[in-house]
């Protein structure tokens, strides 16, 4: 099979699916329309062993069993959108207040196109390919539920990709790869501060939690800048704060939330420990109390060396050396694909779908767009890997 030619011929199919999904974005685990499209297309390809309604909502898996014996490979796509009102002006833009502003519509479309390509090459396929369509990547909790529901049962390894403009220096259609740490571990922290209310004219009679929060947030930044190795990337961001009721009352309660990111479990554990110590000690120093709760705890995405280099070599063979690009540095962005790679060996790749002009906007932006003309390279990479990785 000429994989490159076959994938190029499926680009219009992938575009059509992507636009249908883009016009009807859905959030988190609640993806009935998206699940319906996926199942409809898989049934049209002749699949009968479809598992649907898994992964806490509308996740889908289906197996393609090859004519030759071999191992089982999972190919994963995420499906959920974001609560962003779209401002692209595209003729297929969504109008329901949500938006595919991170490329998950393209991921789903590319995986369906890959299933279509491989279903026509069943005689050349060794082992089994499991197509895994996952809900709720944006809240970073869908992969864990898919694993719990058996999505990896019997699977030997897994690969996935993320399209868009996450890394600079690549051309549209290139596949970016990196051995080892690829995306960061992430943990959300929630801080609650308690004090004592008083009249704003007599602050000494109260315990001011807003002042307390300001001090603690400033101190938390010192964990990164003064307590950790500057050559080991990590991030601490406070993105939400609320407290107080009006201008002339000392606030007796304040809460704020943030996220930490790093590339090792050791760094994550250290930052969590120091956040708790800082909150408790600084709150006590101002005669208040502070508590910390952690959630959405994801490990880093760490790419298996053998699988990553195998993908590089397969791209050389099937697409050409100009279609691969080694990524020098990981990103502090996170992905719950890490829930799969902590269970079985796997690798995650970057599919560049930029335009090279003013249309290139950040992910999670109301103007985010994908260069649909290169969807076929993601299809070709996944299909070629499925056919060649065991040789």
Tens of pLDDT, residues 228-244: 999 888 999 999 999 99
**194 DSSP β-pair partners:** 253, 289
- pLDDT the model gives residue 63: 98
- pLDDT the model gives residue 195: 98
pLDDT band, residue 89 (cuts 50/70/90): very high
- pLDDT the model gives residue 1: 83
Q: What average pLDDT does the segment 277-281 reach?
A: 98
- pLDDT the model gives residue 8: 98
Q: What average pLDDT does the segment 164-180 reach?
A: 96
Q: What percent of the chain has pLDDT over 90?
A: 96
- pLDDT the model gives residue 382: 98
- pLDDT the model gives residue 296: 84
Q: What percent of the chain has pLDDT over 70?
A: 100
pLDDT band, residue 284 (cuts 50/70/90): very high
Q: Tell me if domain 3-183+300-388 and domain 185-298 are identical in fold.
A: no
The sign of the CA dihedral 144, 149, 151, 156 is positive
- pLDDT the model gives residue 59: 98
Between the alpha carbon of residue 336 and those of residues 9, 44, 79, the distances in Å are 31, 30, 13
Where are the domains positioned within the chain? Answer: 3-183+300-388, 185-298
Q: What average pLDDT does the segment 251-267 reach?
A: 95
- The pLDDT mean for the chain works out to 97
Rounded to two decimals, what is the model's pTM?
0.92
- pLDDT the model gives residue 183: 96
**262 DSSP β-pair partners:** 185, 234
**What's the pLDDT tens digit per position in 29-79?**
999 999 999 999 999 999 999 999 999 989 999 999 999 999 999 999 999
Q: What average pLDDT does the segment 178-199 reach?
A: 96
Tell me whether strands 126-134 and 68-78 are parallel, antiparallel or unpaired: parallel
- pLDDT the model gives residue 57: 87
Read off the tokens for 318.
């099937």
CATH of domain 185-298: 3.30.70.360
Q: What average pLDDT does the segment 364-389 reach?
A: 98
Of the candidates 161, 155, 156, the one whose C-alpha atom is nearest the C-alpha of residue 178 is: 161
Tokens 């009968």 -> residue? 48
Considering the domain delimited by 3-183+300-388, tell me its CATH architecture.
3-Layer(aba) Sandwich (3.40)
The DSSP 8-state label assigned to residue 234 in this structure reads: E
**What's the pLDDT tens digit per position in 345-374?**
999 999 999 999 999 999 999 999 999 999
Read off the tokens for 133.
């369509």
Distance (Å, rounded) from C-alpha 4 to C-alpha 8? 6
**What's the pLDDT tens digit per position in 320-348?**
999 999 999 999 999 999 999 999 999 99
Torsion of CA 182, 183, 185, 188, to 10 degrees: 180
- pLDDT the model gives residue 265: 85
Contact (Cβ atoms closer than 8 angstroms) between residue 192 and residue 213: no
Other Cβ atoms within 10 Å of 84 Cβ, number: 19
């Amino acid at each position: 099979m000429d994989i490159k030619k076959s994938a190029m011929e499926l680009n219009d199919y992938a575009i059509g699916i992507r636009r249908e999904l883009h016009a009807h974005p859905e959030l988190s685990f609640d993806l009935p329309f998206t699940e319906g499209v996926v199942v409809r297309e898989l049934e049209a390809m002749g699949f009968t062993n479809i598992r649907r309604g898994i992964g806490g909502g509308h996740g889908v898996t289906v197996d393609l069993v090859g004519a030759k014996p071999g191992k089982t490979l999972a190919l994963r796509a995420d499906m959920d959108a974001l609560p962003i009102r779209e401002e692209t002006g595209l003729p297929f833009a969504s109008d329901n207040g949500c938006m595919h502003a991170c490329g998950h519509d393209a991921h789903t479309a590319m995986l369906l196109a890959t299933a279509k390509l491989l279903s026509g090459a069943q005689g050349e396929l060794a082992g089994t390919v499991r197509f895994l369509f996952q809900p709720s990547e944006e809240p970073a909790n869908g992969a864990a539920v898919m694993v719990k529901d058996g999505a990896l049962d019997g699977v030997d390894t897994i690969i996935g990709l993320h399209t868009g403009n996450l890394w600079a220096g690549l051309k549209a259609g290139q596949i970016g790869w990196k051995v080892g740490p690829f995306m960061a571990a992430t943990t959300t922290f929630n801080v609650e501060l308690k004090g004592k209310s008083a009249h704003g004219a007599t602050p000494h009679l109260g315990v001011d939690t807003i002042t307390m929060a300001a001090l603690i947030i400033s101190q938390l930044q010192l964990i990164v800048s003064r307590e950790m190795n500057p050559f080991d990337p990590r991030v601490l961001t406070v993105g939400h704060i609320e407290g107080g009721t009006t201008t002339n009352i000392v606030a007796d309660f304040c809460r704020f939330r943030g996220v930490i990111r790093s590339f090792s479990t050791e760094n994550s554990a250290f930052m969590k420990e120091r956040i708790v110590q800082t909150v408790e000690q600084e709150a006590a120093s101002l005669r208040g109390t502070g508590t910390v709760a952690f959630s959405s705890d994801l490990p880093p995405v760490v790419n298996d060396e053998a699988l990553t280099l195998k993908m590089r070599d397969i791209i050389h063979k099937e697409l050409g050396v100009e279609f691969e690009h080694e990524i020098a540095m990981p990103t502090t962005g996170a992905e719950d694909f890490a829930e799969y790679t902590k269970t079985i060996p796997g690798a995650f790749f970057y599919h560049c779908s930029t335009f090279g002009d003013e249309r290139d906007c950040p992910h999670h932006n109301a103007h985010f767009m994908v260069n649909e003309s290169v969807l076929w390279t993601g299809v070709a990479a996944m299909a070629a890997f499925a056919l060649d990785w065991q040789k």
